[in-house]
Structure 1
């Protein structure tokens, strides 16, 4: 038996197993098509959701675990090191809004 024939036979067995497991063998071809379409759409949405949102969720979980492991000290040091930068950005934004408000009044 060639490798092609054995692979084809294995695929036939898997198709038969799928039809018997989900009782598709007793449905009409239209009902099979509808069932398989719903199944395909469901798994497609699951895969799309995993590729879009799983990396972000893993990052969030990792950051949360890092915070739990290192405690509040790391957060305080990060805040104090970012403080001058945030202060400069805030002053610049306030100045821009003040200038824009003066132009509106004139």
Structure 2
């Protein structure tokens, strides 16, 4: 229960900081609604971008760190496997290409 109370106090403190820092007290209710909506949309877009692109960037950084640490390019082995499978299998028919 204490953690919920401290979380609630933390949220109230940040809400207070937001209201004091932004000039919300000098705006009409409609202007406050517009500003808060734009802020909320921006936060949502940021969260979506982090959800979609952060895993890709983390994987890319991990591959680069692995290369810098070992000197072996992990993507080169994947390309070699793809090339050998294409050479071994040849072109298949019915791929849908005209």
TM-score between both structures, scaled by the size of structure 2: 0.67
| Structure whose CA Rg is larger | 1
Aligned counterpart, 1:30: 30
Q: Structure 1 residues 64, 18: closer, same or farther in 2, change over 3 A?
A: same
Structure 2 regions of 5+ residues with no counterpart? none
Kindly report the root-mean-square deviation, in angstroms, between the aligned alpha carbons of the 2 structures. 3.3
User: 2: CA distance between counterparts of 1:85 and 1:59?
Assistant: 25
1:40-67 deviations in whole A, cap 9, x for unaligned? 0001000000001100110011111111
Q: Structure 1 residues 13, 64: closer, same or farther in 2, change over 3 A?
A: closer
Higher relative contact order (CA 8 A, sep 6+): 2
When you count helix as a share of all residues, which structure comes out higher? 1
Indicate the larger mover: 37-46 or 13-22. 13-22
Indicate the larger mover: 38-47 or 9-18. 9-18
Structure 1 regions of 5+ residues with no counterpart? 98-106
Q: Structure 1 residues 42, 75: closer, same or farther in 2, change over 3 A?
A: closer
Aligned length: 88
